[in-house]
Amino acid sequence: MTKHNLLQIATADGLLLHGYYIPSKNKKVAVLHIHGFEGNFYENNFVHVLVKEMEEKGISFITANTRGNGKDTDFNTVEGQIVNIGARYELLEEAHLDITAWLKVLINEGYKEIVLMGHSLGTVKAVRYLFEGEQKNQINKLILLAPFDKKGYLLVQNLDTENLLNQAQEAIDKGRGGELVTPEFGDGITSYQTFISWYKQDDLGRMFEFSSPKYEFPILKQINIPTKIVVGSKDAYFYPTNPKHPEEAMKILLNKIPHSQGKIIEGAVHSFKPHESLMAKEVSAFIVDHS
């Protein structure tokens, strides 16, 4: 039986984060999994299925908390203080700090290959890391589980992104950036500064904007490592403006990311229920075939 470890690590800015680590004996390949919005390293059932699959295939695996853990979360720091962040207050521009801290665990363990994997909003953080991360050159493969078209999700709520960005910026300019948005911002409750971080219309912010098919996706075109995309056919967040045709959004990803392959799992939702095992096998097959 492989030894399992509950880990606590510190980020460069002093946050203490927790995760679950399954080491392998051969130290050949390891996966770092980044959870989605308001998530954590253990809650989704597919994480437990992935743990079992990775262990059976001899693949090391870390499922890790980020500063976006939970809705409104207190974090201990190395200095003995408490900092309140959580998904409603995190900034995507700081996600690289969390990923780097976890990657250093695997780098220090001496793994020959490292796979970065994200789910939902975690896919945004994973792709951003390839451009912003201190250890980005240590990433050999990328796995995107259920990417999230954030702007499309606003559109299906009949919300005007540009108008809301202007309102959020006004609140920030008045010193209210840490306050939660008002109801007209829709059901994704965040602070004003987090809303800006999510939705500002730069290329990193638009990386999965399938609702704008004429967009050229320059960020995706620059991904130069083998990439696997797995989504469910009933995922309401992947292609919210046309949920009955996820293959159209998948086609965009496969056309734009140079070394990519994709799988749509029939009947699976955003969390891959009830086909978590199929997703896990797609993940392990990709890792084994490309290692």
Rounded CA separation 233/28 (Å): 33
Determine contact, residues 129/34, Cβ cutoff 8 Å. Answer: no
Q: 215 lies in a domain?
A: yes
Tally the domains of the chain: 1
Q: What are phi and psi of 9, to 5 degrees?
A: -130, 165
Inter-residue contact 41 to 73 (CB < 8 Å): no
- Interval 199-230: pLDDT, tens: 999 999 999 999 987 999 999 999 999 999 99
Cα→Cα distances 10→19, 65, 135, 282, 291, Å = 11, 11, 16, 32, 30
| Tokens at 143, concatenated | 């796995």
Question: What confidence tens digit (pLDDT) does each residue in 105-125 have?
Answer: 999 999 999 999 999 999 999
Residue 160 inside a domain? The answer is no
Q: Is residue 62 part of a domain?
A: yes
Residue type (1 letter), 88: R
Instruction: Note down pLDDT in tens along the chain; length 291 residues.
Output: 456 799 999 999 999 999 999 998 888 999 999 999 999 999 999 999 999 999 999 999 999 999 999 999 999 999 999 999 999 999 999 999 999 999 999 999 999 999 999 999 999 999 999 999 999 999 999 999 999 999 999 999 999 999 999 999 999 999 999 999 999 999 889 999 999 999 999 999 999 999 987 999 999 999 999 999 999 999 999 999 999 999 999 999 999 999 999 999 999 999 999 999 999 999 999 999 866
Phi and psi, residue 196, nearest 5°? -60, -45
Measured distance CA(291)–CA(284) in Å, rounded:
10
| Residue 60: inside a domain | yes
Cis bond before residue 147 (omega within 30° of 0): no
CB 141 within 8 A of CB 115: yes
CB contact at 8 A, 242 and 208 = no
What 3 state SS string does 169-217 have? Answer: HHHHHCCCCCCECCHHHCCCCCEHHHHHHHHCCCCCCCCCCCCCCCCCC
**Is 196 among the domain residues?**
no
Give me the CATH number covering residue 228: 3.40.50.1820
Residue 163 in any domain: the answer is no
Q: The domain containing residue 115 runs over which residues?
A: 5-149+211-289
Question: Does residue 23 lie in a domain region?
Answer: yes
- Say if 45 falls within a structural domain: yes
Which residues make Cβ contacts (< 8 Å) with residue 11, sequence separation at least 6?
17, 67, 97, 98, 100, 101
pTM, two decimal places: 0.96
